[in-house]
Amino acid sequence: METDFLVIGSGIAGLTYALKMSEAHPDKTITVITKTDADETNTKYAQGGIAGVWDENKDSYDKHIEDTLVAGDGLCNEDIVALVVKEGPERIREIIDLGANFDRNEKGEYSLGKEGGHSENRILHHKDVTGKEMERALLAQLATSSNIHLINHCFVVDIITQHHLGYLVTKSTLDITCYGVYVLNKQTNQIETILSKITVLATGGCGQAYRTTTNPRIATGDGIAMVYRAKGKIENMEFIQFHPTALFEPGVSPSFLITEAVRGDGGILRNKAGEAFMERYDERKDLAPRDIVARAIDNEMKRTGTEHVYLDARHMNKDKFIHHFPNIYEKCLSIGIDVMQQMIPVAPAAHYSCGGIKTDEWGRTSIQNLYACGECASTGLHGANRLASNSLLEAMVFAHRAYLNSADKVEKLNFEKRIPDWKATGTSDPREMILITQSQKELTQIMSDYVGIVRTDVRLERAMKRLDLLFTETEDLYRSTKVSPQLSELRNLITVGYLIVKGAQFRKESRGLHYNTDHQQKSDLLQNIIL
Ligand code: FAD
Ligand code: SIN
């Protein structure tokens, strides 16, 4: 198959890019691939909303920029922060024009929420299901497009480069070029080749590397692992954001999120003795940036020997709570918690990857004709810690920029016709699926036990040794059996785990989301760790 533009991922980043390209170039072919159903994305589960300076009388670009820089703890790229904050409102207006509905107050103005680290109310939202509404609007628009070909249930295994033509490609090769991808068609179980002139990775995050995560099953870091295998640049993987307040529900995966907006509306964190402990940790209390709140909760849990703390909403106005958070209210009721009577048990869960595929201000990766946007990319916006509700914004801003940069480039490109078919090395069907599920379980155990909110040198070293063994076993399995999505995801998760540990080992300081008790000071040297 040949396509001018190949977009991998149907979340906010991939769909925004595809729709823009489709409108600007009705004569070109655009293919969007997704590994399960089109709407099964991290995007669909976004709750709190999308941050943007909406009313310049009450808020300002400077304040949003400053809040983003403070959360990022010294590692944000200031030019990138400024451009995202300033271009963001225009992108939000565009999705409103596509039909996404955001809540309004009695005066008909957009109702702006607040979350940790924000100095002003600036978060547009649709109840507590903002992502679902945005995904709905984007997919509805896509259905009207005549030149976007959406392929569901197709698993991208690897991106194709000169390596597949038999050339030696290393990290030092300057002109690594992407010619398309190999995909596993889940219907036929065959690996097929898709040639593309421009390829866009919008494959989302990697929360599934951890035992407890808010991310759905699809979040296995595939794009990041593929680029690493293709010798592209990955950066800042040690900055995994743990959301402070996932619903504590043992055995349930993924964890249901209790949006930070509940704290923005007055919710209070309490320990098992009922103490509002955040005032002991930060003057911004419950609305301090996420790294600080998650570490405080982790500390309280360890100090009091509990597996969770509580989020107290009992004092909040019932009608207002149900109006803003109907989904959370219903979910809690379904497990026997009336949030007006009982406190909600919550614990931190892996939530967001701040690092990823290194890109420039146009979404270009270090591999030619390959772009990345959304959670899989590392644009420089988040630095060492992402400010709440900045990721939907970032995804739209960089999808737009990637579209602008790649639109005309396509005219000068040709398909690389010499690409060989996929070489199936393994002959038998995956013999024992249980081996794959057991290894994945082991991986999440290693990452949660040794590479979580608080790290030490010894724990990181132990994690690396365990990952080494898992890597060797999995590569053996990969060589001897037919490729399956499960086996590919396991390989990708092990690669992502390795990148997180390696980044954490290189960073000899505690900064933002990376906290190592053996290196508690911040280094004077501000550096991004590129792997
Ligand atoms: P996704 O939306 O995750 O889409 C990834 C796509 O890639 C999917 O279509 C998937 O099928 C496809 N894909 C992946 N690998 C492959 C492969 N190998 N082959 C084929 N297809 C593949 N951010 C905010 O700004 N505000 C919020 O309120 C907010 N709330 C959140 C709440 C939750 C519970 C979660 C999990 C995240 C939240 N976030 C929030 C973060 C935000 O939702 C994500 O960062 C963002 O939606 C990512 O969008 P994306 O387009 O990059 O990827
Ligand atoms: C939330 O609603 O608390 C999540 C917001 C985010 O991850 O940006």
Catalytic residue, candidates 91, 270, 290, 386: 290
Pair of tokens at residue 106: 């009695």
Q: How many domains does the chain have?
A: 2
Report which DSSP code applies to 462.
Answer: H
Helix 130-143 to helix 391-407 angle (10° resolution) is 30
Report which DSSP code applies to 438.
Answer: H
Is residue 498 in some structural domain?
Answer: no
Whether 45 is in the pocket of ligand 1, judged by its Cβ within 6 Å, is yes
Whether 36 is in the pocket of ligand 1, judged by its Cβ within 6 Å, is yes
The three-state secondary structure class of 387 is: coil
Using CA atoms in the order 389, 390, 395, 396, what is the torsion angle rounded to 10 degrees?
A: 90
CA 362, chain centre distance (Å): 19
The three-state secondary structure class of 372 is: strand
Q: Distance (Å, rounded) from C-alpha 374 to C-alpha 11?
A: 8
Cβ pair 71, 189 in contact under 8 A: no
Whether 50 is in the pocket of ligand 1, judged by its Cβ within 6 Å, is yes
> Could you tell me the distance, in angstroms and rounded to a whole number, from the CA of residue 116 to the centre of ligand 1?
20
**Which CATH number fits the domain that encloses residue 164?**
3.50.50.60
Dihedral-angle region of residue 305 (phi above 0 means left; psi in -120 to 50 means alpha; beta otherwise): left
Shared domain for 259 and 296, answered yes or no, is: yes
Other beta carbons less than 10 A from residue 133's beta carbon? 21
Total residues found in the chain within this entry: 531
Q: Distance (Å, rounded) from C-alpha 512 to C-alpha 494?
A: 24
Nearest CA to ligand 1 atom 36: 215
Shared domain for 398 and 297, answered yes or no, is: no
Give the domain range for residue 215: 2-238+354-412
> Could you tell me the distance, in angstroms and rounded to a whole number, from the CA of residue 494 to the centre of ligand 1?
19
Task: Tell which atom from ligand 1 comes closest to the C-alpha of 391.
Answer: 25
Shared domain for 281 and 150, answered yes or no, is: no
Q: Distance (Å, rounded) from C-alpha 329 to C-alpha 323?
A: 10
> Could you tell me the distance, in angstroms and rounded to a whole number, from the CA of residue 53 to the centre of ligand 1?
23
Q: Give the CB-side neighbour count of residue 63, counting CA atoms within 13 A.
A: 16
Residue carrying structure tokens 């794009």: 223
Shared domain for 267 and 157, answered yes or no, is: no
Shared domain for 370 and 313, answered yes or no, is: no
Task: Tell which atom from ligand 1 comes closest to the C-alpha of 10.
Answer: 9
Pair of tokens at residue 82: 């400024």
Cβ pair 124, 54 in contact under 8 A: yes
Shared domain for 311 and 208, answered yes or no, is: no
Among 368, 383, 412, which residue terminates a domain? 412
Shared domain for 288 and 146, answered yes or no, is: no
Among 331, 349, 367, which residue terminates a domain? 349
Q: Distance (Å, rounded) from C-alpha 262 to C-alpha 316?
A: 10
User: Amino acid letter at 215?
Assistant: N
pTM exceeding 0.85: yes
- List residues near ligand 2 (CB under 6 A): 47-48, 259-261, 352, 388-389, 391
pLDDT in tens, the chain (531 residues): 999 999 999 999 999 999 999 999 999 999 999 999 999 999 999 999 999 999 888 999 999 999 999 999 999 999 999 999 999 999 999 999 999 999 999 999 999 999 989 999 999 999 999 999 999 999 999 999 999 999 999 999 999 999 999 999 999 999 999 999 999 998 888 999 999 999 999 999 999 999 999 999 999 999 999 999 999 999 999 999 999 999 999 999 999 999 999 999 999 999 999 999 999 999 999 999 889 999 999 999 999 999 999 999 999 999 999 999 999 999 999 999 999 999 999 999 999 999 999 999 999 999 999 999 999 999 999 999 999 999 999 999 999 999 999 998 999 999 999 999 998 766 666 667 888 999 999 999 999 999 999 999 999 999 999 999 999 999 998 988 888 999 999 999 999 999 999 999 999 999 999 999 999 999 998 999 999
- Active-site residue, 431 included: no
The three-state secondary structure class of 30 is: strand
Shared domain for 156 and 272, answered yes or no, is: no
Shared domain for 181 and 62, answered yes or no, is: yes
**Rounded to the nearest 5°, which phi and psi values hold at 245?**
-125, 75
Other beta carbons less than 10 A from residue 472's beta carbon? 11
Secondary structure E strands in 13-56: 30-33, 50-51
> Could you tell me the distance, in angstroms and rounded to a whole number, from the CA of residue 46 to the centre of ligand 2?
7
Among 412, 427, 457, which residue terminates a domain? 412
Whether 10 is in the pocket of ligand 1, judged by its Cβ within 6 Å, is yes
Whether 213 is in the pocket of ligand 1, judged by its Cβ within 6 Å, is no
The three-state secondary structure class of 511 is: strand
